Structure 1
Amino acid sequence: MQIVYSNRRGSRTMDHVGSAHDEAELEALKAVAYQRLAAGQGELDLGLDVAGAPGAPLPIVASRMGHLWDALCRAYDAVGLDDATGGDRVFRDLVLARIIEPTSKRDARRVLEEVGVAAASYATVERALPKYATDAYRQRLATACAAHAALGPASLVLYDATTLYFETDQGDGFREPGYSKERRLEPQITLGLLTDASGFPLMIEAFEGNKAETHTMLPVIKAFMATHRLRDVTVVADAGMISEANRKAIEAEGLSFILGMKIPDIPYVISSWRRDNPDSEIADGQIFTQPWPASPTDQRRDQVIYYQYKADRARRTMRGIDEQVGKAEKAVAGKIPVKRNRFVQLTGADKAVNRALEARARALAGFKGYITNIDNPTPEFTLQAYSRLLNIEKSFRMSKSDLAARPIYHHKRESIDAHLTIVFAALAVVRHVEERTGWSIRKFVRTARRYRTIQIRAGGQILTAEDPLPADLRDALALIVGPGLAH
């Protein structure tokens, strides 16, 4: 056993301690060597028995995803959900666990334990779920979200609907088969989502799966306005959500709207322009304005219709028309079976390509219509407001993917409503985090969860340790929790 001393210049000296012939003698020589090395040095007494087990690992007594959890808690509070729920920790933990790892309510306990948070028992969660399904509880959340969005009478609200299907083949009056964009036959429910112009959620409602999406919009808007005592908001919705009856119903309620509209025939304002400019091409982005004043018997406000032409939209539409017409021609020639094709005209047993419909479709390629009844509209404001529907589509995609709103493991209406309440609150927190940081929630969670805070027991003391944060994550956390708390 030797102790070797060296310095920067490379010279070394050795101190011979002794020779050992078995393990007991070796341990004794190690103890002598430790004493010689520590000779004349003060020691900090941590209460560790190093002589008995030098180099023994220190036990970790706690480990948590502190940065991620604290940031999400701060975002939850900033939206106003903690005040709205009266500090309901079970609800908060279910909401934040769904953001970190979407899973079942039973498995949320595992997620919270991995985070390092004490989780309520599943029996406690089951007792709480009926409360989350009540109208009073959900209205408090909606009120908090509306206050966070600073919603007022002149605000834009976006509306869209989607469906969530269930792994069952039996309907029950609420979960019923209906029209599905995913072409599924299982029972489903229809969801109506109302957001502000940025896509921040304001209200979510569930309807029977066989209820048409066009019949869901007005009940959601009326319920929202009643809850927040609003006399008027400007509703923005896609053409697929609007029927003529729907638009009249919105008008009858005295609401302002900016709606997409289908164009079944060539509008007069476009055909007139083409007659006056036979040798000119319509410019990309060109807008045609068609005022539609109300007559004394119409019982509506004056409206304006805008038709915008986009070259890229025309290119994509023309390509689709070419494909459909090609299939129609093959079907008429008997080369392929007749399937659903709008350009195939059937008259008794005779088949023909509907050339008049083809000509009309090509003449309308690239155009999209927008109708509004707001006072003194401009095409720029109207089209910009309509383009914000991308934000609500993003919120729906987020709820289905990042928050895994489906599959739903519940079967009772009460449990389904409670589940949607949790998803709604989680969506509000997610949109706040993304708006503050500019990061996607998936990137934020994936990055922040890698950096844990651990506590180590060293004798009678508890030491705290953590990995240093990268600069980009530290900056993102500072935008949520404040610069003084992100370190």
Structure 2
Amino acid sequence: MDHIGSAHTPEDVEVLKAVARQRMIAAGQDEFDFGDGRPRRRALPIRRSRAGHLWNALSVGFERLGFDTASGGDEVFKQLVLGRLIEPASKLETLRVLEEIGVRPCGYATVKRRLAVYAEPAWRQQIASACAAHVGLGPATLVLYDVSTLYFETDAGDGFREPGYSKQRRLEPQITIGLLTDARGFPLMVEAFEGNRAETTTIIPSLQAFQAAHALPEITVVADAGMLSDGNLRALSGAGLRFIVGQKIPEVPYIVREWLKTHSGQQPPDGLILTQPWSRGPAGAAVTETIYYQYRADRARRTLRGISEQVSKAERVVAGKIPVKRNRFITLTGAQKSVNRDLEAKALAGWKGYITNLADPRPEYVIGAYHQLWQIEKSFRMSKSDLKARPIYHHLKDSIEAHLTIVFAALAVARWLEATTKVSLKTLVKTLRRYRTIDIQAGDTIVTAEDPIPNNTQTWLNAIHNTQEQH
């Protein structure tokens, strides 16, 4: 049994009855007929029911990021962005979602007309500029860069959607997406490239476009080791760009080998950092980069455990207990199989390299910046899972670009909401969607009633609306 509230006037009683009926309907319950012959009083009509708390919270995020101004008050854009946060769907289905939560949707014909506008470079730049203004780009901005792919359910490429390298090993045509964020994973720019374009060729044009758009004299990009080839690093330095990149370690570096030799039989202390000046030019060229090698005991334990498992598998292969599979610890000589207990791999356990061309860098800053890459990985996961970024309903390049603009803005609002409330977007939307605000006709008066909000949920709403008051 639920307590609906207290009433002091006949009108209040009717309002509470209407709220009770609304709850019963939502719960799939029927009113109990006592069968005493008393005429049942006609229920007060509900004129409007809406998920007001949800829509208002999302709207605050949209406005707080300056998207209302950047879009010129475009209501269609706002509805498509916020609708994607509520329930990612096709543009047509999004209008149904909006109607369900009590928002009067724009017409579908209007939506289709506006999509061409959202694909225009000038429009996309306005949205990106609002994001940049929100984070407050400085003269030496640190940005994260990563690449992913979005595939299409078609067999034929068209020059933009093309088959290419896919981490999921998909064969369908795809596009390559380059995402640039700040150190917290807040999106700053998204670029779409041909699906058969190599990931390493996307970073420099993206960075140069970003730097030019915001007139930044200097930026430092943080990227994964596989993102930047030797040629990329040379090109970045040549363009005056700074970088922090994970360094692949195929063999024990000289400076690590020397430390192990000097400290024979000793375990490196957890957190040990060795510094090696580096030149990418010919022998004798000026030093322009720095490599840091850091040892972590936890990383060493994980690596050694993995090596032990691989060696164990190799032994079973050599013994003929399991079939031959790719394994670095198996040596094949003709028809002979033997176990190669790679001491080099064990010597590298626990070590990771970080390379930068920053002048006078601090190792803690370089390593800390690199380990923020999980933030951009999270943004990619959110865009693909929570926001369903894959443009499965679009085929033309312009409509794909428009779709990505909407997803980009939705990702920005999502990241802002999560940072503000400290809960996930999914939890926030699922919770707020349950609480309705209803307008009830009581005689000549329209009375507004709403479900009571639990304290923890109210804390989220307070955090969202307090930011609005502060600005």
TM-score (norm: length of structure 1): 0.84
Same amino acid, percent of matched pairs: 58
Letter in structure 2 aligned against 1:243: S
CA change 1:335–1:54 in 2 (3 A) is closer
Q: Is the 8 A contact 1:178 1:188 kept in 2?
A: yes
- The letter for the 1-side match of 2:214 is H
| Equivalent residue in structure 1 for 2:218, among 232, 236, 260 | 232
Q: Name the SS of the counterpart of 1:369 in structure 2.
A: strand
Amino acid at match of 1:364: L
Instruction: State yes or no: 1:458 paired with 2:447.
Output: no
Indicate how the Cα distance of structure 1 residues 269 and 298 shifts in structure 2: closer, same or farther if over 3 A, else same.
Answer: closer
Cα offsets for 1:243-286 (capped at 9, x unmatched):
11111111111111111110111111111111111131112222
Q: What is the identity, as a one-letter code, of the residue corresponding to 1:206?
A: A
Q: Which residue of 2 aligns with 1:147?
A: 133
Change in CA separation of 1:44 and 1:59 when aligned onto 2, cut-off 3 Å: closer
1:275 corresponds in structure 2 to 261
The one-letter code matched in structure 2 to 1:168 is T
1:432-459 deviation line (CA, Å, top 9, x unaligned)? 1111111111111111111111001112
Distance 2:346 2:391 in 1: 41
The match for 1:126 among 95, 112, 115 is 112
Alignment of 1:54-69 (within 5 A): 55-69=41-55
Matches within 5 A, 1:26-175: 55-175=41-161
Give the whole-Å Cα distance in 1 for the aligned partners of 2:74 and 2:315: 64
| Contact preservation (8 Å) 1:301, 1:373 | no
Structure 1 residue 336: Cα displacement: 4.5
Deviation at 1:170, TM superposition (A): 1.9
- Within 2, Cα distance between the matches of 1:299 and 1:254? 18
Please say if 1:389 is aligned against 2:373: yes
Structure 1 counterpart of 2:357, from 350, 362, 373: 373
Paired with 1:56 and 1:300, the residues of 2 have a C-alpha distance of 89
Q: Match of 1:178, as an amino acid?
A: G
The question of 1:184 aligning with 2:170 is answered yes
CA distance in structure 1 between the aligned counterparts of 2:332 and 2:138, rounded to whole angstroms: 53
Cα 1:111–1:268 shift into 2, 3 Å: same
Partner of 2:246: 260
What is the CA deviation profile of residues 39-89 of structure 1, one whole-angstrom value per residue up to 9, with x for unaligned ones? xxx998999xxxx97621101011111111111111101111111111111
Q: Quick one: distance in 2 between partners of 1:149 and 1:353?
A: 56
Helix, strand or coil for the counterpart of 1:233? strand
1:381 alignment partner, SS class? helix
Give the secondary structure class of the aligned counterpart of 1:62: strand
| C-alpha deviation, 1:466, in angstroms | 0.5
Shift, 1:425, TM fit: 0.2
Supply the distance in 2 between the matched residues of 1:484 and 1:170 (Cα, whole angstroms).
Answer: 48
Is 2:88–2:387's contact at 8 Å kept on the other side of the alignment?
yes
Distance 1:383 1:45 in 2: 62
Q: Is the aligned partner of 1:440 residue 2:424?
A: yes
CA displacement 1:381-414 (0-9 Å, x = unmatched): 1111111111111111111111111252111111
Change (3 A) 1:297 1:87: farther
What is the CA deviation profile of residues 98-122 of structure 1, one whole-angstrom value per residue up to 9, with x for unaligned ones? 0011111110001100111111111
Q: Check conservation: 1:145, 1:201, Cα contact below 8 A.
A: yes
Q: How big is the shift at 1:155?
A: 1.8
Shift of 1:343: 3.8
CA contact (8 A) 1:325 1:343 kept: yes
CA distance in 2, matches of 1:472, 1:432: 19
| Pairwise CA distance, 1:339 | 3.5
- Distance in 2 between residues matched to 1:460 and 1:318, nearest whole Å: 77
Describe the shift of the 1:43–1:132 C-alpha distance in structure 2 as closer, same or farther (beyond 3 A): closer
After superposing the two structures, state which structure 1 stretch, 129-138 or 299-308, moved more. 299-308
Residues 153, 170 of structure 1: alpha-carbon distance in 2 compared, 3 angstrom cutoff: same
Aligned equivalents of 1:165 and 1:476: distance in 2?
Answer: 36
For 1:296 and 1:153, locate their aligned partners in 2 and report how far apart those are by CA, in whole Å: 32
C-alpha deviation, 1:193, in angstroms:
0.4
- C-alpha displacement at 1:324, in angstroms? 3.1
Deviates more, 1:371-380 or 1:427-436: 371-380
Does structure 2 conserve the Cα–Cα contact (< 8 Å) formed by 1:332 and 1:352? yes
Q: CA 1:229 to 1:43, structure 2 compared with 1: closer, same or farther past 3 Å?
A: closer
Aligned residue number for residue 29 of structure 2: none
Whichever residue aligns with residue 415 of structure 1, its letter is S
Match of 2:340 in 1: 355
- Name the SS for the 1:109 alignment partner: helix
Change beyond 3 A, Cα 1:468–1:483: farther
Q: Please, which runs of 5 or more residues in structure 2 have no aligned partner? A: 1-8, 15-37
**Alpha-carbon distance between aligned partners in 1 of 2:336 and 2:206, rounded to the nearest angstrom:** 45
**1:427 is matched with which residue?**
411
Give the whole-Å Cα distance in 2 for the aligned partners of 1:458 and 1:469.
Answer: 24
Q: Which amino acid aligns with 2:253?
A: P
- 1:477 is matched with which residue: 447, 461, 464? 461
Q: Which amino acid aligns with 2:103?
A: V
Measure how far apart 1:216 and its partner are.
Answer: 1.3
**1:195 aligns to 2:186 (yes or no):** no
Q: Alignment partner of 2:91: what SS?
A: coil
| 2:420 partner amino acid | R
CA distance in 1, matches of 2:338, 2:148: 34
RMSD value over aligned CA atoms? 2.6
Q: Kindly indicate whether residue 296 of structure 2 is the aligned counterpart of residue 310 of structure 1.
A: yes
Q: Report the Cα distance in structure 2 between the residues aligned to 1:261 and 1:439, rounded to whole angstroms.
A: 34
Normalised by the length of structure 2, the TM-score is 0.87
* TM-aligned CA deviation for residue 334 of structure 1: 5.5
